[in-house]
Structure 1
Amino acid sequence: MEAAAGAGGMEVVVFPWLAFGHMIPFLELSKRLAARGHAVTFVSTPRNLARLPPVPPHLSARLRFVSLPLPRVDGLPEGAESTADVPAEKIELVKKAMDGLAAPLTTFLADEAAVGRRPDWIIHDFCHHWLPPIADEHNVPCAAFLILQAAFVAFVGPRWANNMHPRAATEDFNVTPGWIPSPLTIAYRRHNEAESLASLFRTNASGVSDMDRAWGMFERCRLTIYRSCDEVDPGMFALLSDLLRRPAVPAGVLLPPAVADDGNRGKDELLRWLDEQPPKSVIYVALGSEAPLTRKSLHELALGLDLAGVRFLWALRTPAGLFDAGANDCSVLPDGFEERTRGRGMVQTGWVPQVKALAHPATGAFLTHCGWGSTVESFCFGLPLVMLPFTLDQPLVAQAMEEKGIGVEVARDDIDSSFDRDCVAAAVRRVMVDEEGKVLASNARKLQEVLADQVAQERYIDGLVEHLRRHRDDGCQ
């Protein structure tokens, strides 16, 4: 990559949504652009920048961080600057606060122009509907980086397609939309999953619906960029280019590279515990920090792991606001759970080095909510999946993984998507114990082998850079 650096480097500003599942892929994209000799400015709020992982020293001269103060919003807790800091019902207020960054961003761009440093591009997220008009005033083109599954973006569709094929009722999201060509089938199976999509079309506490945000962004950016590749989403980028009427560009899977032993392994209780387990014997369990769990569903998951009788490592992060303030995450587990599973199970609260846990030889499968970032990480380590999706793109990701033959979904109620311990145990045993699991693991390893081609993955970044150069001087489409 360093050989590609040199004269002709671009100035690129990246500006992710205030969620760590977005900030980390934006940071990985930033590092790859910086490694090619481009100057990258990563924009976020003070607390979020302080919580990002460090940048490799050899990139620090070309990757800087700019802090914009997040405005206060009534109802948003003091110090809350990301979705991880608030319960699910307050995420709309984080969007409202982020809309208040329009003025600081305008000042930042004016200050950059004053010192002769006009960006060549601003790469932003799905919710920045207000950003392209500001960028236009400074003659800076915009590209949207979407860290969601490409098929989900196609299912959501652009404004013109939704006007031609309106979806007024929740049930409309249970069928493939009219703009998706046959034989593709993309639709939600369960009522509450469809409702999670229907809610995106309604105005929320931020004053703007998520779909109006996305449509405004689609209509003003020059490119859309995806954390994906042809090997994962074959044919999807041509479809999205047609639907969105601008190039849809894959950036590759953007897996963080640091999975090697860094010399601190003996100090990490989690990795030390994994070292003591037999190869491929542990199912790693992680549902992210924003899964809409209830106390009952968390208990059913725990009791299902107990019933399954297999080794497990559970990265337990209860969403902010779910339980009493100050409660320890482990205090929400069922009575006696830790005693019954001691020796074959480990519950780790707080931050977990997920990439290292997935890469560990003892890890044999991944119980996941099917967030796209976690799913991509599972691809890169050849792990079969036990899938427990909740909302937005997650159910569509789970369906796609079933079709690829690399995962099974926990059986759920068709109306409210509830599940019980027996369904959890059955799905875990299908993957970890039964013969079916060997087929799933084989399919997952085949995909891993394809994505392990780092030359091919870096070629996607090179292709993105070429698109950025080619479309830099275009007029807005």
Structure 2
Amino acid sequence: MIPFLELSNRLARRNHAVTFVSTPRNAPRLGAVPPELSARVRVVTLDLPAVQGLPDGAESTADVPREKVDLLKTAFDGLAAPFKSFVASRGSNDGEAGDEFSRKPDWIILDFAHDWVMPIADEHKISCAMFLIFPVALLAYIGPKHENEARPRTTTEDYMVQPPWVPFPSNLCYRRYEAEAIARGFRPNASGVSDIDRLLRLHHPSCRLIVHRSCPEAEPRLFPLLADLFAKPVVPAGLLLPGDVVDAAAPRAQDGDGESLAPLMQWLDEQPRRSVVYVALGSEAPVTADHVRELAHGLELSGARFLWALRPPSESDDSGAPLLPGGFEQRVAGRGVVRAGWVPQVRVLAHGAVAAFLTHCGWGSTVEGLFRFGRPLVMLPFVADQGLIAREVAARGAGIEVPRNDDDGSFRAADVAVAVRRVMMANEEGEALSRNATELQKVVGDRVRQDQYVDELVGYLQRYK
């Protein structure tokens, strides 16, 4: 939701009126629209329908365990009817009567999961643009519908090789444990529709543009390939990089539990420059208790200073064992901090004490850590696009991937420790990783060029409506 709101704000700064449609519990999570944009960005909520088995008040993946996510998709599909009524209530674009928000929109900008929007847009003669917040590499790997029908992938091994429609050498392939997870995305889930089928509705005629939170500097050669494969413009919106670090930190002086962030930032202030590895595995990665314990052992073995934004595992652990190894926090006291609450990631990554980022390689975290702040990565990818991102970052010499068991994705503490040391050491390899990350930040994170991508997107919206 955050990249969608960021795009909304940037369009509003270019004098366009944006209605951001969400649900009652999700809307407050977005944070406030900047006051200077309040006349141009309006947030509208539609009630999420109740679905048997889905907890009351659950409106996002943050509210449910992984086994309930498919029920959330079922509830989400129930928004089609109220959304259709909402669109029908918009007036005509003719004349000057009424405010801009009451007029029929020129565009509906949607995520891949909203496959039911296209027929509604058709009925009201509104153009659609699918805005994808994952890297172009994932769409290139998935490929267009006609290629999948002509050359279906039927075995795990089929998902472990570069797709035949990519005509040049690339890192578009998965390890076995990743491939099995990707294959599940091609199969129908409890909602009755597969995630890939939802995505491939972008072939619908009312979808005039495919827009990516990416850019050619971050992903060379892929934009023109996708335009050919999907026979429509594939447009970079830029990376929508985090704004000013002070502004990003300002809304919260404490986490959601009311705990002050001051001691955390004070600890960082006390550390030597470029001496800390920041550790965060995102909110969506399927991290288990075993992963957490192995990672803890690895950080302890590495000897490095670290700040760990620890989220509870996404899968329950019935072993009764403590989440962190016994005595872990006492043994790493002084050089390691574990923070179970919210952490201001942008502010932490910007801090001069931070030298590297141990990450699951989600696209948002990669954009923030590598392209915004030039931090080399220690990489622990889990699902979806994360493996593709990790392979490409490693190929560009800006990160080290922790070795995994190819069958089940497990990893060993000793391998975590080695990867952390390789990135943090002041030797030839460590300096090369840091230098390559800085160079990528200079090229990909050029704010003037990134802003131009939004201007160019507006040009496409004007020409293709």
Q: What range describes the TM-score normalised by the shorter chain of this pair?
A: over 0.9
Q: 2:91 aligns with which of 90, 113, 136?
A: 113
Deviations 1:109-145 (A, max 9, x none): 1122376510110000011111111111111110000
**Residue 323 of structure 1: how far off its partner (Å):** 4.9
Paired letter, 2:166: I
Query: 2:137 maps to what in 1?
Result: 151
Whether 2:353 is the aligned partner of 1:375: answer: no
Find the residue that maps to 1:423 and give its secondary structure.
helix
**Residue 202 of structure 1: how far off its partner (Å):** 0.6
Query: 1:423 maps to what in 2?
Result: 415
Find the residue that maps to 2:391 and give its secondary structure.
helix
Query: 1:101 maps to what in 2?
Result: 79
Distance in 2 between residues matched to 1:302 and 1:319, nearest whole Å: 13
Paired letter, 2:210: T
Distance in 1 between residues matched to 2:347 and 2:388, nearest whole Å: 26
Whether 2:441 is the aligned partner of 1:448: answer: yes
Query: 1:458 maps to what in 2?
Result: 451
**Residue 311 of structure 1: how far off its partner (Å):** 0.7
Paired letter, 2:295: L
**Residue 268 of structure 1: how far off its partner (Å):** 2.6
Q: 1:249 aligns with which of 235, 241, 245?
A: 235
Distance in 2 between residues matched to 1:308 and 1:283, nearest whole Å: 11
Find the residue that maps to 2:292 and give its secondary structure.
helix
Find the residue that maps to 2:277 and give its secondary structure.
strand
Distance in 1 between residues matched to 2:176 and 2:91, nearest whole Å: 50
Tell whether the 8 Å contact from 2:287 to 2:313 is kept in structure 1 after alignment: yes
Find the residue that maps to 1:288 and give its secondary structure.
coil
Tell whether the 8 Å contact from 1:281 to 1:363 is kept in structure 2 after alignment: yes
Find the residue that maps to 1:71 and give its secondary structure.
coil
Query: 1:412 maps to what in 2?
Result: 404
Find the residue that maps to 2:89 and give its secondary structure.
helix
> Which has the higher mean CA deviation after the structures are superposed, 446-455 or 314-323?
314-323
Q: 2:302 aligns with which of 300, 308, 313?
A: 308
Q: 1:276 aligns with which of 270, 278, 289?
A: 270
> Which has the higher mean CA deviation after the structures are superposed, 170-179 or 433-442?
433-442
TM, length-normalised to structure 2: 0.92
Tell whether the 8 Å contact from 1:28 to 1:255 is kept in structure 2 after alignment: no
> Which has the higher mean CA deviation after the structures are superposed, 107-116 or 75-84?
107-116
Query: 2:95 maps to what in 1?
Result: none
Q: 2:200 aligns with which of 211, 215, 219?
A: 215
Tell whether the 8 Å contact from 2:171 to 2:391 is kept in structure 1 after alignment: no
Uncovered stretches (5+) of structure 2, i.e. residues with no partner: 93-97, 254-259
Find the residue that maps to 1:144 and give its secondary structure.
strand
Alignment of 1:18-417 (within 5 A): 23-113=1-91, 116-188=102-174, 190-220=175-205, 221-260=207-246, 268-320=262-314, 322-323=316-317, 332-378=323-369, 379-417=371-409
> Which has the higher mean CA deviation after the structures are superposed, 447-456 or 298-307?
447-456
Tell whether the 8 Å contact from 1:301 to 1:424 is kept in structure 2 after alignment: yes
Aligned residue-pair number: 445
Distance in 2 between residues matched to 1:81 and 1:361, nearest whole Å: 37
**Residue 459 of structure 1: how far off its partner (Å):** 0.5
**Residue 182 of structure 1: how far off its partner (Å):** 2.1
Paired letter, 2:182: L
Calculate percent identity across the aligned residue pairs: 57
Paired letter, 1:405: G
Tell whether the 8 Å contact from 2:289 to 2:313 is kept in structure 1 after alignment: no
Tell whether the 8 Å contact from 1:253 to 1:376 is kept in structure 2 after alignment: yes
**Residue 453 of structure 1: how far off its partner (Å):** 2.4
Uncovered stretches (5+) of structure 1, i.e. residues with no partner: 1-22, 473-477
Query: 1:13 maps to what in 2?
Result: none
Paired letter, 1:203: P
Distance in 1 between residues matched to 2:169 and 2:314, nearest whole Å: 41
Find the residue that maps to 1:366 and give its secondary structure.
strand
Paired letter, 1:200: G
Query: 1:9 maps to what in 2?
Result: none
Distance in 2 between residues matched to 1:146 and 1:268, nearest whole Å: 36
Distance in 2 between residues matched to 1:158 and 1:461, nearest whole Å: 25
Distance in 1 between residues matched to 2:419 and 2:261, nearest whole Å: 33
**Residue 321 of structure 1: how far off its partner (Å):** 5.3
Tell whether the 8 Å contact from 2:286 to 2:314 is kept in structure 1 after alignment: no
Tell whether the 8 Å contact from 2:242 to 2:372 is kept in structure 1 after alignment: no
Output the aligned Cα RMSD. 1.8
Paired letter, 2:311: R
Q: 2:462 aligns with which of 439, 464, 469?
A: 469
Deviations 1:270-302 (A, max 9, x none): 222211111111100010122212211110001
Distance 1:452 1:182, change over 3 A: closer
Tell whether the 8 Å contact from 2:135 to 2:214 is kept in structure 1 after alignment: yes
Paired letter, 1:347: V
**Residue 331 of structure 1: how far off its partner (Å):** 5.8
**Residue 318 of structure 1: how far off its partner (Å):** 1.6
Deviations 1:34-80 (A, max 9, x none): 00000011111111101112221111110110001001111111211
Tell whether the 8 Å contact from 1:289 to 1:318 is kept in structure 2 after alignment: no
Distance in 2 between residues matched to 1:467 and 1:427, nearest whole Å: 43
Give runs of ≥4 in structure 1 deviating > 4 Å: 261-267
TM, length-normalised to structure 1: 0.90
Paired letter, 2:120: I
Paired letter, 1:194: A
Distance in 1 between residues matched to 2:313 and 2:5, nearest whole Å: 24
Distance in 2 between residues matched to 1:429 and 1:296, nearest whole Å: 22
